[in-house]
Amino acid sequence: MTLARGGLARIAIVGSASSGKTTLAQALAERYRDVWVPEYLREFVESRGRVPVEGDQLHIAETQAAREDLAATRAGRFLFCDTTPLMTAVYSRHYFGRIEDRLAQLVAARRYDVTFLCAPDFPWTPDGLCREPEDQSVPVNTILAEELAARGIPHVRIQGPMAQRLRQVEEVLGL
């Protein structure tokens, strides 16, 4: 899979906690001198000093989407998205047993040119924010795989050390 030349390519980077999403998004933005969108959930937890409750999920996803749209106005060829509203939906299903309708609609409305699924092959480390007091990568990745399939979202699984991941992304993007 390679991208057509011209225009902005929105690149989704998804995966469980500690799977390297942020590191990859930052490295890609630096390498291609373009824009990345940090994960809003991290800011949410830090600013409120608590983990989100079910009623926060739509706000988190809407804020993530709004920040993507704003960042797209500054991007050149690529917009690297460190997570997407889909991950909020996945975590909603994992922690609360469901995806609220408006959140599901938001996820369905978002489009990305390429979705990269980061393998959970880095050692899990708690992020100090008490979002996940223990490794939840297996159940989260199971739900993520189910949601990607159910929504018909094509994706590329990337894995290995960062240098290998960067090469895998470049191959897919045709760089």
CA-based torsion, 152, 34, 31, 39: positive or negative: negative
Q: How many domains does the chain have?
A: 1
Query: Is 122 a residue whose pLDDT tops 80?
Result: no
> Tens of pLDDT along 65-120?
999 999 999 999 999 999 999 999 999 999 999 999 999 999 999 999 999 999 88
Residue 3: what are its φ and ψ, rounded to 5°? -85, 150
Looking at residue 136, its pLDDT comes to 79
Q: Which domain holds residue 152?
A: 9-173
- List CB contacts of 99: < 8 A, sequence separation 6 or more: 89, 92, 93, 107
Residue 26 domain flag: yes
Residue 2 domain flag: no
| CATH of residue 45 | 3.40.50.300
Residue 140 domain flag: yes
The structure tokens listed for 10 are 């929105």
Residue 1 domain flag: no
Residue 3 domain flag: no
| Cβ atoms of residues 131 and 85 within 8 Å | no
Residue 93 domain flag: yes
> Tens of pLDDT along 17-39?
888 899 999 999 999 999 999 99
Residue 22 domain flag: yes
Residue 4 domain flag: no
